[in-house]
Amino acid sequence: IPAFAKVNLCLQVVGRRADSYHDLRTIFQTISLHDTLEISFHRGRKDTLAIYPTFEVPKEHLAGLMGPHNLIYRALDALRRELEIQRRIHVDLVKNIPVARGLGGGSSDAAATLVGLLRLTGQRLPLARLTEIAAGLGADVPVFLLGGRALGVGRGDQIFPLPDGPRRTVVVVSPQGIAVSTREAFG
């Protein structure tokens, strides 16, 4: 399953919310840069994740990639509860999207996990319910269920698809050693 990165074509922070998030208006655009997930059942006692980064991951972000707070684990857990899946799952992740650069890599991986697990089990969910589960994982996870261009409002989790614009070439510059978490950026 490919998990595409995104850029924000514009981003307006409208104000701070009572839940510590920010109200915003943004135009998301997915781009061709992507991670790749392979999801399968396995015989282990717990879900497992193997990450193969194609770039050097800063030490402070490595624990977040592998720990139980990883959005892939959270997506597996959420869909397991929703669909009452009993079998254990293994995910191989080839990580091409740089970490903590505003490209939505973790959120995209979570959305791809939801879609991939539905395919693996052969089960279906209404898009509205799948979007609700995605929003519970992270504010921008729902946009990755649709891809393309979309308006994001509220926390960025209210998604309104927009017509595709003209095809453009985007150069993503991601200097090694520079990383800013979403929390830090909005702080």
Q: Which of 35, 95, 109, 140 is catalytic?
A: 140
Query: In this structure, are residues 29 and 55 in contact, taking their beta carbons and an 8 Å threshold?
Result: no
Distances (CA, A) of 92 to 17, 22, 62, 113, 131: 36, 33, 16, 11, 24
Is residue 92 part of the annotated active site? The answer reads no
6, 35, 109, 157: the active-site residue: 6
Give the CA distances from residue 12 to residues 40, 69, 157, 185, in Å, rounded to whole numbers and listed in that order: 39, 28, 14, 13
pLDDT of residue 123: 94
Contact 160, 153 (CB under 8 A): yes
Q: What's the confidence (pLDDT) of residue 59?
A: 62
Predicted confidence at residue 61, as pLDDT, reads: 61
Question: For this structure, is 95 an active site residue?
Answer: no
Along the chain (187 residues), what's the average pLDDT of each consecutive run of 10 residues?
A: 95 85 90 96 88 74 68 94 93 91 93 97 95 93 94 89 89 80 72
pLDDT at site 69: 78
Query: What pLDDT score was predicted for residue 177?
Result: 73
What is the distance between the alpha carbons of residues 141 and 131, in angstroms, rounded to a whole number? 8
Predicted confidence at residue 62, as pLDDT, reads 59
